Amino acid sequence: MDITGIGSIADIAGKIIDKIWPKADPTEKLKAQFELQKILEERENAIIEAQKSIIVAEMQQADPYTKRARPTIVYAGLLAIFLVHVILPYISYFARETYPGIALPTDFWYVWGGVSSIWFVGRTMERRGNNNPIIKSITGAPK
């Protein structure tokens, strides 16, 4: 089993072959499983390479805003939190009005928390000088 919990590509390929040809010759099954495993690995590698090239292209753009898009999401979320949980309650307090208790949606917290966490971890690792391939692919640094 791999770290994603889904299982290795070989396990997935084996399950697919067993479902398609349950009574086939074991050597034929192994051949088919090997071929399917090769196809699945190539697909995964192509996806990773595409993601990496997108990140590299994003970081090499001349437009500086593209590089600041993730921090903008973080700062916009902080602004929304500050507005809903600090500014509006103080305004209602000083206006002597009852604050209706606005709540940010649960989806906001999930998405904003995920984006903030990934951005924070990536920036921290980059500033610490970690030069492993994962950090380089996240930050778009040259290899």
Taking only the tens place, the pLDDT of each residue in 11-37 is 676 677 677 766 667 777 777 777 877
Flag whether pLDDT at 111 surpasses 80. yes
Flag whether pLDDT at 7 surpasses 70. no
Least reliable range by pLDDT among 98-107, 109-118, 129-138: 129-138
Q: How far is CA 143 from CA 26, 57, 100, 135, 139, in A?
A: 43, 14, 53, 10, 11
d(CA 9, CA 48): 15
d(CA 2, CA 68): 33
Least reliable range by pLDDT among 86-95, 99-108, 123-132: 123-132
pLDDT in tens, 63-101: 666 566 667 788 888 999 898 888 888 888 888 877 777
Percent of the chain surpassing pLDDT 90: 1
